[in-house]
Amino acid sequence: MLIGGEWCVSSSSAWFETKDPYNGKPWARLPRGNADDVDRAVRAAHAAFTSGPWSKMIASDRGRLMYRLADLIEQNAERLADLEVRDNGKLKVEMLGQMRYIPRWFQYYGGLADKIEGAVTPIDKGDMLHYIRYEPVGVVGAITPWNSPLLLTVWKLAPALAAGNTVVIKPSEHASVSMLAFLELFEEAGFPPGVVNVVTGFGHEAGAALAEHPLVDRIAFTGSDVGGRLVSRAAAESFKRVSLELGGKSPHIIFEDADLEAAVKGVISGIFAAAGQTCMAGSRLLVHENIHDSFVEKLVERMRQARLGDPRSDTTDVGPIATEPQLAKTLEYIQIARSEGAVCALGGRRPDTDGLKDGWFVEPTIFTGVDNSMRIAREEVFGPVLSVMKFRTDDEAVALANDTPYGLAAGLWSQSLERAITIPRRLRAGTVWVNAYRVVSYMAPFGGFKSSGIGRENGKAAIYEYLEAKSVFINP
């Protein structure tokens, strides 16, 4: 772990193992951080915020450090991607793409660091001068999941650092190794000690201690709704600012006038590319009744040819599930769907062939005949399981799409300009893709409506999530 610029182990000397999802074998050992370790890290971050060189650094220099870091990440992209694939089993091609994209966040927010401008405003108090200045919130606790460990941490880190905060990261217990390699680069870039710290360990131990710690001013959480609820309860004790990026059950709507070939590819990348393990997975497919059967047939045909295998190989289309509990949960949901009466049109099993049976694989699975009230249509599986439903009218499609407790994302495929303009307005989701799916950018706000979270990451406005506005009145 990295605390106050020192690499260290837990004060309890306890360790835990992380396993490779491709073969189920342990491959690394990490310190099991506890509340004492979190306390040390938070105090180091607090000291760096209040009195270290970071607190006195001019904003342009903070930006310059972030540019230097971006260059180092570019140089180390391959190594970082390899570590993530080993930890979470996602395809190398996807993780490498993420590593090559991450530098943009540091360049974008590094560029904003010295453009955080206050304002002198008119005021109804005679000759008084009133101005607004923006100041960093203080110590940020970043609690992150295993599916895209670095990318989702960077969505928090880059704006937090640009704004002048210090950070304590608690990465997922299932995928922490890349984070430790990543933090070596901060040292190399020249960030002062204590500005970024990491405590590895479990959610109910290190994570809970971070969410509760009175010297943490803001929590930025990405994970499940269960975790998000626990974190926001703990943070409420000391009224911390909280942002939550949670799960989804995102609808993917295929209208009759869609380019069906492109839509099939979009649906596949939306749910199967990362074996369903993305928050924005298009896990509910709504297809117009006139094209339902032929569209499902195309989809099944295409996915029947998908190659499961080593996530490091260029020829693999679908990798394993990242963790053993997640594998069990996915198989359980497949059982639930069957018992609810959904029809399994493809997959539905854990493969037992050589080369796959030791890993945590689930066949790409497609259920038809799903009713939106079934659990398989309402609850997040976070695995390669697609639920297909029919609709007749646009109103029905919109009603079905919105009939979910979640509101993270939605996709639609249509060649009608009218639909492309009017349907996104009617969908209750933080991101809507038209004739595309799973596109994100450092320039575009990302976050959820309803139970998918609170707050937005990415885009210019995200930097204000890490700033406090201060009103100053001067009586001349």
Place of tokens 């394993």: 320
Q: Which amino acid is at 422?
A: T
Segment contacting ligand NAD by CB under 6 A, of 35-43, 166-174, 184-192, 284-292: 166-174
Single out the residue of 223, 309, 407, 411 in contact with ligand NAD (rule: CB under 6 A): 223
Among residues 245, 379, 380, 457, which one is catalytic? Answer: 245
Place of tokens 């210090």: 166
Cα angle for residues 47, 48, 52 (degrees, 5° grid): 105
* Contact call for residue 90 and ligand NAD (CB under 6 A): no
Single out the residue of 19, 170, 284, 456 in contact with ligand NAD (rule: CB under 6 A): 170
Single out the residue of 48, 152, 216, 342 in contact with ligand NAD (rule: CB under 6 A): 152
Nearer to ligand NAD, 171 or 364 (CB): 171
* Beta pairing, strands 119-121 & 129-136: antiparallel
List CB contacts of 56: < 8 A, sequence separation 6 or more. Answer: none
Which of these, 338, 452, 336, 445, lies nearest to 405 by C-alpha position?
Answer: 452
Place of tokens 């996709």: 411
Segment contacting ligand NAD by CB under 6 A, of 63-71, 204-212, 235-243, 371-379: 204-212
380 labelled catalytic:
no
Which of these, 377, 444, 425, 433, lies nearest to 405 by C-alpha position?
Answer: 377
* Contact call for residue 147 and ligand NAD (CB under 6 A): yes
Nearer to ligand NAD, 291 or 327 (CB): 327
Single out the residue of 145, 149, 311, 359 in contact with ligand NAD (rule: CB under 6 A): 145
Please, what is the minimum distance in Å from the beta carbon of residue 410 to ligand NAD? 14
Binding mask 275-294 for ligand NAD (x = CB under 6 A): ----x---------------
Nearer to ligand NAD, 162 or 381 (CB): 381
Please, what is the minimum distance in Å from the beta carbon of residue 245 to ligand NAD? 3
Single out the residue of 3, 83, 208, 264 in contact with ligand NAD (rule: CB under 6 A): 208
Report how many residues bind ligand NAD under the rule CB under 6 A. Answer: 31
Nearer to ligand NAD, 197 or 368 (CB): 197
* Contact call for residue 176 and ligand NAD (CB under 6 A): no
* Contact call for residue 380 and ligand NAD (CB under 6 A): yes
Please, what is the minimum distance in Å from the beta carbon of residue 242 to ligand NAD? 11
* Contact call for residue 173 and ligand NAD (CB under 6 A): yes
Binding mask 243-262 for ligand NAD (x = CB under 6 A): --xxxx--------------
Active site residues: 245
Instruction: List interacting residues with ligand NAD (CB under 6 A).
Output: 143-147, 152, 170, 172-173, 202-204, 207-208, 211, 222-224, 227, 230-231, 245-248, 279, 380, 382, 408, 448, 453
